[in-house]
């Protein structure tokens, strides 16, 4: 059991589901393009073990990372899991031969995906399953009633403890909530991409976690002169400022920065603690 709590403290998503606000996104542990095995499997195992050692209790994954690779590495590194560790996975897509991410949202595909996650992670029930609904980084219009209803059925069967949604609009969040409670929303958001500002505030009012993916820009590192200049002033990196800004943006924001490097993992946890003054926050808020 970890003895230290990373910056930002803890957030309770539901009974029995309290996590550190600084978590870890495991997607970068697969090979290039999130396809195939990592270049250095021992390094990938080391990142996960270090994350837990440094107090992180929230790991984000999917069985379609690799595919399968990331979950296999999580199990190898951490199973049997510490009591306080919560693993959040997502379903709703597959990988194709070209490395694409086609939707896979029929009830049969979702049932299979849940079983694939259970098997590869070595679990009897999944802590949280997010239904991925939209495209690469933005929502697509349409109803999620059939796929989300299928996941709610799997929750009723005891295979899933809690549900969330990913790459969704505010309307789709409301639609999901009319079917079953959600504990988190995982969407594309960072200091330079602020389309979800209103959604974050409405989820905060309901006590629902908002988990931004690509917090550091994802496949394209964040580029902003303002971010650079605030970082230089604070003698910090732009990554540290971007993570610290997210932690201070709203108490319901949980961080899942991804990295394949122990050094970057340590930097990110330390960086998230960077204090930002009102003046710096005002300047940073102008970026979005």
Ligand X SMILES: NC(=O)c1ccc[n+]([C@@H]2O[C@H](COP(=O)([O-])OP(=O)(O)OC[C@H]3O[C@@H](n4cnc5c(N)ncnc54)[C@H](OP(=O)(O)O)[C@@H]3O)[C@@H](O)[C@H]2O)c1
Closest residue by Cα to residue 242 from 210, 209, 217, 278: 217
Q: Is 236 in the site for ligand X (CB under 6 A)?
A: no
Q: Is 218 in the site for ligand X (CB under 6 A)?
A: yes
Task: Tell me the β-bridge partners of 24.
Answer: 59
Alpha helices in the chain (DSSP H): 41-53, 69-78, 107-121, 145-156, 170-177, 197-206, 225-233, 238-249, 262-271, 278-285
Which residue number places its CB atom closest to ligand X? 258
The binder of ligand X chosen from 26, 151, 200, 247 (CB under 6 A): 26
Region binding ligand X by CB under 6 A among candidate stretches 150-158, 210-218, 227-235, 277-285: 210-218
Region binding ligand X by CB under 6 A among candidate stretches 9-17, 72-80, 168-176, 216-224: 216-224
Q: Is 74 in the site for ligand X (CB under 6 A)?
A: no
Q: Left if phi > 0, otherwise alpha if psi is -120 to 50, otherwise beta: which for 99?
A: left
Coil, strand, or helix at residue 178? coil
Q: Has 65 been annotated as catalytic?
A: yes
* Residue carrying the six token digits 């606000």: 21
Catalytic residue among 24, 64, 65, 210: 65
The binder of ligand X chosen from 172, 193, 252, 259 (CB under 6 A): 259
Closest residue by Cα to residue 57 from 125, 92, 8: 8
Instruction: Give the Cα separation of 14 and 130 in Å (integer).
Output: 15
Instruction: Give the Cα separation of 46 and 260 in Å (integer).
Output: 9
Region binding ligand X by CB under 6 A among candidate stretches 8-16, 143-151, 155-163, 263-271: 263-271
Q: Are strands 126-132 and 86-91 parallel, antiparallel or unpaired?
A: parallel
Size of the site for ligand X (CB under 6 A): 26
Task: Tell me the β-bridge partners of 204.
Answer: none
Minimum gap (Å) between residue 278 Cβ and ligand X: 26
Give the x-and-dash track for 52-71 against ligand X (CB under 6 A).
--------x-----------
Q: Is 163 in the site for ligand X (CB under 6 A)?
A: no
Q: Which residues here bind ligand X, judged by CB under 6 A?
A: 25-28, 60, 90, 132, 166-167, 186, 213-218, 239, 256-261, 264, 267-268
Catalytic residue ranges: 65
């Amino acid at each position: 059991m970890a003895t230290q709590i990373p910056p930002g403290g803890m957030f309770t998503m539901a009974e029995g589901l309290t996590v550190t606000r600084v978590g870890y996104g495991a997607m970068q542990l697969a090979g290039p393009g999130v396809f195939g095995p990592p270049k250095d499997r021992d390094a990938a195992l080391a990142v996960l073990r270090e994350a837990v050692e440094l107090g992180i209790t929230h790991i984000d994954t999917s069985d379609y990372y690799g595919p399968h690779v990331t979950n296999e590495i999580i199990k190898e590194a951490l199973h049997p899991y510490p009591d306080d560790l919560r693993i959040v996975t997502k379903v709703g897509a597959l990988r194709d031969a070209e490395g694409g991410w086609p939707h896979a949202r029929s009830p049969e595909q979702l049932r299979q995906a849940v079983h694939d996650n259970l098997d590869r992670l070595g679990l009897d029930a999944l802590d949280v399953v997010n239904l991925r609904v939209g495209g690469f980084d933005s929502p697509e219009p349409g109803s999620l009633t059939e796929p989300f209803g299928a996941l709610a059925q799997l929750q009723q069967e005891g295979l899933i403890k809690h549900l969330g949604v990913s790459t969704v609009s505010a309307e789709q969040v409301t639609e999901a909530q009319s079917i079953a409670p959600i504990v988190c929303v995982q969407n594309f958001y960072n200091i330079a991409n602020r389309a979800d500002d209103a959604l974050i505030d409405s989820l905060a009012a309901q006590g629902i976690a908002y988990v931004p993916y690509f917090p550091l820009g994802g496949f394209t590192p964040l580029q902003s002169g303002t971010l650079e200049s605030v970082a230089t002033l604070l003698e910090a990196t732009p990554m540290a400022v971007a993570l610290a800004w997210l932690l201070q943006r709203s108490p319901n924001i949980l961080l899942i920065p991804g990295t394949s490097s122990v050094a970057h993992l340590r930097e990110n946890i330390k960086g998230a603690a960077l204090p930002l003054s009102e003046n710096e926050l005002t300047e940073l808020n102008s970026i979005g």
